[in-house]
């Protein structure tokens, strides 16, 4: 079922997103699996890109950071898009948004490892080919994202772009607040730890 | 308890008995930067040897000495700024002559630079007198070059000659503090012949935005922003003039051709000296290159006064060694201001705050690097391969050696070996070039397989399409048959 969905997402994305709300069409664990696969693809890309194109050695790759790089956009997009669409009369439920967002990683999962393997056969002179394919993948993903928002929420194209801008803005706010919170919590923990140490010294 | 005492006595005795070479490591650890500007520990190229100061020479101590010049015959000239004199001495510290009269026209006032011609004429930058004073080799005052007059110079032009050189024609090139237009060029008669090789103000986005937002009054203040003046200059045997500049972050060292074009950093900007700067009171501590010296092979040694380090580069600008640091131990500097090199390869550094001259000798590793680098810079890659391999054995962190061996192997058409060396040297571009050749070779060698594969793939495609067509036709026929049956 997952494989058929992936194929449909690549070949007929519009039909696929139209069908996504039908019961029994998609499973939530498929979405998690796709995100895990995307993280794996990213790791593979970082570690095995040919030396002509990247000087990153496998030991330089920070695994938790790279996983976050895939995981965090997915979750924060889903949350913010859900919040924005709730105000803007979107049709999609949170579950639909979460799953359909994960399917945007499909071109990344399939083409990045292929492109990475290709870099081991290309030289710097063929860099333009590499860059075209590289950015082509991201353009494709952007196209999928736009279609996803439009179809899942049943929006007009103008409203789709408006929603996307608002969602990105919402993500920025979300991240700002989270980082702020993290800083404050860190400070608070340090304070309590200092108090604890002080007490232990006095006793 | 008694036992422990004996042990410590023994340890102390051993400490004093250990031969001098046991702690010849020096006060500093050599290091280099790799292609990605990470620091790598390296073997020292130069080690501290000994020092000379005024007491050693039997004269009163130097006061704020500002410049050191080593002549071709290895006698040294020291500008003893605070004592208004220039001292000539040999390498053992025997004073040969003093320049600077007590009275009259030959009296120096706060001199800061010296240059000695091949015939032994001493040109002193007599900074506070705002002139260049010339002495004969026997110490008699010959003439002076006062502040030049020219319509090219602004009316409020302040002349602060601090360093100078004299070229083979007898033209003077003078670095004047705060003169942003470049070096002043004077002919042997003292006529101003124009500026030479100015620094440029660097354009950056911040400045453009600020200019766009600024009011007229603020703009006027901005317009006064000048490029920095040269802090020092040096002329090599080929006649190139090397300059140093303080207060910029890139291209602090330049090699100016006869027409004033920088040939050391053509179309590039490069940060000389340390790549990671300390901060002090919240702002970056910029390196301050105050002197540079170049040997007859084109090896550049520059002195960063702020970090107290000597940076040695080959003719192409590849970093060879970093020597010294700030501190009180021998081999470190309090305020090093000037550097020059003797014919035996020793480097002399003048420490202004300490009032002494430190001598550094090249290590066997340094000699090996110079040998290899000389061949490499001149393009003898194959001949340089053996010494570079020796260097790699002594110091596996020396990436220039990996790179040079890679180049040699590339020339010998050993592409896959060259690739592995370029990879060690982190040279992506050259790796890619070697890989291109390797790929060509690989395809040529295995051409049969590639051709067979292509033919096979083509025929399989054909067969598959034929099959698909036939199936389609059958389906159509079947459908037509069904239609016919239905009719």
Binning chain B into helix, strand and coil, the percentages to the nearest 5 are 30, 30, 40
In a domain, B31, yes or no: no
Which DSSP string do the residues of A12-54 spell out, in sequence order?
-HHHHHHHTTSTTS--HHHHHHHHHHHHHHHHHHHHHS-TTT-
B304 shares a domain with B324: yes
Instruction: Flag whether pLDDT at B61 surpasses 60.
Output: yes
Residue of A nearest to B442 (CA): A121
B325 shares a domain with B304: yes
Read off the pLDDT of each residue in B175-180 and give the average, rounded to a whole number. Answer: 88
Domain range enclosing B401: 363-435
- Exposure of B409 in the CB half-sphere (CA atoms within 13 A): 24
| Average pLDDT, rounded, for chain A | 92
Instruction: Flag whether pLDDT at B15 surpasses 60.
Output: no
Q: Does the distance separating the beta carbons of A51 and B431 come in below 8 Å? A: yes
A81 Rama sector, left if φ>0, alpha if ψ -120 to 50, beta otherwise: alpha
Instruction: Flag whether pLDDT at B18 surpasses 60.
Output: no
Cβ-Cβ contacts under 8 Å, B428 against chain A: 51-55, 124
In a domain, B30, yes or no: no
Read off the pLDDT of each residue in B52-71 and give the average, rounded to a whole number. Answer: 91
Read off the pLDDT of each residue in B46-64 and give the average, rounded to a whole number. Answer: 91
How confident is the model over B321-336, as pLDDT tens digits? 999 999 999 999 999 9
| B37 min Cα distance to partner chain A (Å) | 13
B374 shares a domain with B348: no
In a domain, B26, yes or no: no
Residue A192's pLDDT is 96
> Exposed, middle or buried, B311 (CB in 10 Å: 0-12/13-18/19+)?
buried
Domain range enclosing A53: 2-202
In a domain, B166, yes or no: yes
Q: Nearest 10 degrees: CA dihedral of A5, A7, A11, A16?
A: 0
In a domain, B441, yes or no: no
Share of residues in chain B with pLDDT > 90 (%): 64
Q: Count of domains in chain B?
A: 3
How confident is the model over A137-191, as pLDDT tens digits? 999 999 999 999 999 999 999 999 999 999 999 999 999 999 999 999 999 999 9
Lowest-pLDDT range of A53-57, B114-118, B201-205: B201-205
CB proximity A199 to B under 8 Å:
no
| B442 min Cα distance to partner chain A (Å) | 11
Q: Count of domains in chain A?
A: 1
Instruction: Flag whether pLDDT at B203 surpasses 90.
Output: no
B476 shares a domain with B431: no
Share of residues in chain B with pLDDT > 70 (%): 92
Q: In terms of Cα–Cα distance, which of B297, B323, B321, B293 is closest to B309?
A: B323
Q: Does the distance separating the beta carbons of B429 and A123 come in below 8 Å? A: no
B225 shares a domain with B126: yes
In a domain, B350, yes or no: yes
What's the maximum distance between 2 C-alpha atoms anywhere in chain A?
A: 71
CATH value at residue B122: 2.120.10.30
| Average pLDDT, rounded, for chain B | 88
B189 shares a domain with B65: yes
B344 shares a domain with B285: yes
Residue B20's pLDDT is 45
Q: In terms of Cα–Cα distance, which of B66, B24, B26, B33 is closest to B324?
A: B26
B201 shares a domain with B311: yes
pLDDT band of residue B280 (cuts 50, 70, 90) is confident
Share of residues in chain A with pLDDT > 90 (%): 76
Question: pTM score, two decimals?
Answer: 0.80
Residue of A nearest to B437 (CA): A123
Q: Are B395 and B43 in contact (CB under 8 A)?
A: yes
Instruction: Flag whether pLDDT at B180 surpasses 90.
Output: no
Cβ-Cβ contacts under 8 Å, A121 against chain B: 439
Residue B288's pLDDT is 92
- Token couple for B469: 């067509």
CB proximity A3 to B under 8 Å:
no
Q: Does the distance separating the beta carbons of A123 and B436 come in below 8 Å? A: yes
Residue B441's pLDDT is 92
How confident is the model over B133-143, as pLDDT tens digits? 999 999 999 99
pLDDT band of residue A198 (cuts 50, 70, 90) is very high
How confident is the model over B336-366, as pLDDT tens digits? 999 999 999 999 999 999 999 999 999 999 9
Q: In terms of Cα–Cα distance, which of A103, A81, A97, A99 is closest to A159?
A: A81
- Token couple for B475: 């389906």
Substitution target in B416, B428, B440, B450 with the highest count of A β-carbons within 10 Å is B428
- The phi and psi torsions of B87 (rounded to 5 degrees) equal -110, 130
| A50 min Cα distance to partner chain B (Å) | 9
Q: Does the distance separating the beta carbons of B433 and A121 come in below 8 Å? A: no
Instruction: Flag whether pLDDT at B22 surpasses 60.
Output: no
Length of chain B in residues, anyone?
Answer: 487
Q: Does the distance separating the beta carbons of B36 and A51 come in below 8 Å? A: no
Read off the pLDDT of each residue in B427-448 and give the average, rounded to a whole number. Answer: 92
Element housing B49 (H / E): strand B46-53
Residue B484's pLDDT is 67
Instruction: Flag whether pLDDT at B221 surpasses 80.
Output: no
Residue of B nearest to A122 (CA): B436
Residue in A54, A55, A123 nearest the CB of B435:
A123
Cβ-Cβ contacts under 8 Å, A54 against chain B: 428
Residue B309's pLDDT is 95
ipTM: 0.78
Q: Does the distance separating the beta carbons of B436 and A51 come in below 8 Å? A: no
Q: Does the distance separating the beta carbons of B429 and A51 come in below 8 Å? A: no
Q: Does the distance separating the beta carbons of B433 and A124 come in below 8 Å? A: yes
| A48 min Cα distance to partner chain B (Å) | 14
Three-state SS at B32: strand
Domain end marker among B362, B379, B394: B362
Residue of A nearest to B35 (CA): A55
CA angle B479, B483, B487 (to 5 degrees): 170
Substitution target in B37, B431, B441 with the highest count of A β-carbons within 10 Å is B431
Q: What is the count of residue pairs from A and B with beta carbons less than 8 Å apart?
A: 26
Instruction: Flag whether pLDDT at B24 surpasses 60.
Output: no
- Token couple for B20: 């001098």
Read off the pLDDT of each residue in A95-115 and give the average, rounded to a whole number. Answer: 94
Residue B181's pLDDT is 86
pLDDT band of residue B220 (cuts 50, 70, 90) is confident
Q: Does the distance separating the beta carbons of A125 and B432 come in below 8 Å? A: yes
Identify the contact set of chain B against chain A, taking CB-CB distances under 8 A.
35-36, 423, 426, 428-429, 431-433, 435-436, 439
In a domain, B13, yes or no: no
In a domain, B236, yes or no: yes
Residue B23's pLDDT is 45
Residue A159's pLDDT is 93
B135 shares a domain with B89: yes
pLDDT band of residue B223 (cuts 50, 70, 90) is low
CB proximity A57 to B under 8 Å:
no
B286 shares a domain with B252: yes
How confident is the model over B400-427, as pLDDT tens digits? 999 999 999 999 999 999 999 999 998 9
Substitution target in A50, A56, A122, A123 with the highest count of B β-carbons within 10 Å is A123
B229 shares a domain with B111: yes
CA B12, chain centre distance (Å): 43
The contacts of residue B339 (CB under 8 Å, 6+ apart) are: B68, B291, B292, B293, B301, B302, B303, B310, B347, B348, B349, B350
């Amino acid at each position: 079922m997952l494989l058929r969905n992936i194929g449909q997402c690549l070949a007929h994305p519009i039909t696929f997103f139209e069908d996504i709300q039908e019961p029994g069409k998609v499973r939530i664990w498929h979405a998690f699996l796709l995100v895990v696969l995307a993280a794996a693809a990213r790791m593979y890309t970082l570690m095995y890109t040919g030396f002509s194109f990247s000087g990153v050695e496998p030991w330089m790759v920070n695994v938790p950071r790279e996983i976050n790089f895939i995981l965090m956009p997915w979750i924060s997009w889903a949350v913010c898009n859900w919040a924005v669409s709730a105000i803007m009369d979107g049709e999609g439920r949170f579950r639909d948004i979460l799953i359909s967002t994960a399917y945007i990683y499909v071109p990344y999962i399939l083409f990045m490892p292929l492109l990475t393997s290709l870099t081991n056969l290309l030289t710097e002179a063929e860099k333009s080919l590499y860059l075209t394919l590289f950015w082509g993948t991201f353009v494709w993903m952007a196209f999928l994202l736009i279609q996803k928002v439009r179809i899942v929420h049943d929006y007009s194209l103008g409203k789709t772009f408006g929603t996307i801008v608002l969602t990105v803005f919402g993500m920025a706010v979300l991240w700002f607040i989270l980082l702020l919170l993290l800083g404050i919590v860190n400070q608070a923990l340090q304070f309590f730890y200092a108090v604890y140490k002080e007490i232990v010294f006095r006793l | 308890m008694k036992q422990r005492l004996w042990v410590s006595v023994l340890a102390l005795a051993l400490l004093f008995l250990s031969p001098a070479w046991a702690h010849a490591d020096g006060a500093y650890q050599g290091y280099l930067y790799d292609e990605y500007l990470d620091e790598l520990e390296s073997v020292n190229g130069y080690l501290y040897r000994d020092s000379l100061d005024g007491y050693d020479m039997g004269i009163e101590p130097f006061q704020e000495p500002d410049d050191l010049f080593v002549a071709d015959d290895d006698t040294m000239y020291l500008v003893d700024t605070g004592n208004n004199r220039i001292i000539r001495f040999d390498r053992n510290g025997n004073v040969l002559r003093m320049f600077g009269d007590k009275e009259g026209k030959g009296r120096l006032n706060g001199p800061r630079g010296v240059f000695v011609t091949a015939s032994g004429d001493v040109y002193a930058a007599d900074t506070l007198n705002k002139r260049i004073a010339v002495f004969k080799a026997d110490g008699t005052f010959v003439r002076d070059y006062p502040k030049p007059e020219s319509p090219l110079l602004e009316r409020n032009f302040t002349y602060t000659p601090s360093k100078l050189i004299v070229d083979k024609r007898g033209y003077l090139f003078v670095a004047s503090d705060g003169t942003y237009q470049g070096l002043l060029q004077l002919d042997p008669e003292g006529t101003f012949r124009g500026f030479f090789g100015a620094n440029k103000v660097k354009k950056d986005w911040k400045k453009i935005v600020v200019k766009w937002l600024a009011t007229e009054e603020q703009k006027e203040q901005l317009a006064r922003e000048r490029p920095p003046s040269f802090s020092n200059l040096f002329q090599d045997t080929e006649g190139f003039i090397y300059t140093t500049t303080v207060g910029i972050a890139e291209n602090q060292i330049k090699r100016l051709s006869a027409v004033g074009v920088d040939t050391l950093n053509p179309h590039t900007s490069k940060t000389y000296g340390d790549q990671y700067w300390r901060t002090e009171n919240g702002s970056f501590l910029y390196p301050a290159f105050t002197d540079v010296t170049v040997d007859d092979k084109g090896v550049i040694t520059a002195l960063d006064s702020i970090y107290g380090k000597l940076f040695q580069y080959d003719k192409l600008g590849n970093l060879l060694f970093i020597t010294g640091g700030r501190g009180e131990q021998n081999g470190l500097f309090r305020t090093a201001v000037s550097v020059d090199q003797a014919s035996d390869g020793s480097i002399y550094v003048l420490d202004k705050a300490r009032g002494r001259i430190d001598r550094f000798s090249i290590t066997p590793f340094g000699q090996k690097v110079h040998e290899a680098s000389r061949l490499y810079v001149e393009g003898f890659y194959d001949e340089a391969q053996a010494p570079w391999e020796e260097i790699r054995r002594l110091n596996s962190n020396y990436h220039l050696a990996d790179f040079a061996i890679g180049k040699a192997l590339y020339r010998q058409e050993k592409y896959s070996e060259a690739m592995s060396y370029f990879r060690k040297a982190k040279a992506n571009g050259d790796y890619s070039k070697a890989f291109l050749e390797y790929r060509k070779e690989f395809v040529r060698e295995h051409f049969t397989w590639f051709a067979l594969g292509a033919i096979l793939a083509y025929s399989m495609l054909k067969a598959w399409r034929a099959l698909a067509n036939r199936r389609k036709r059958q389906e159509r026929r079947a459908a037509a048959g069904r239609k016919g049956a239905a009719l």
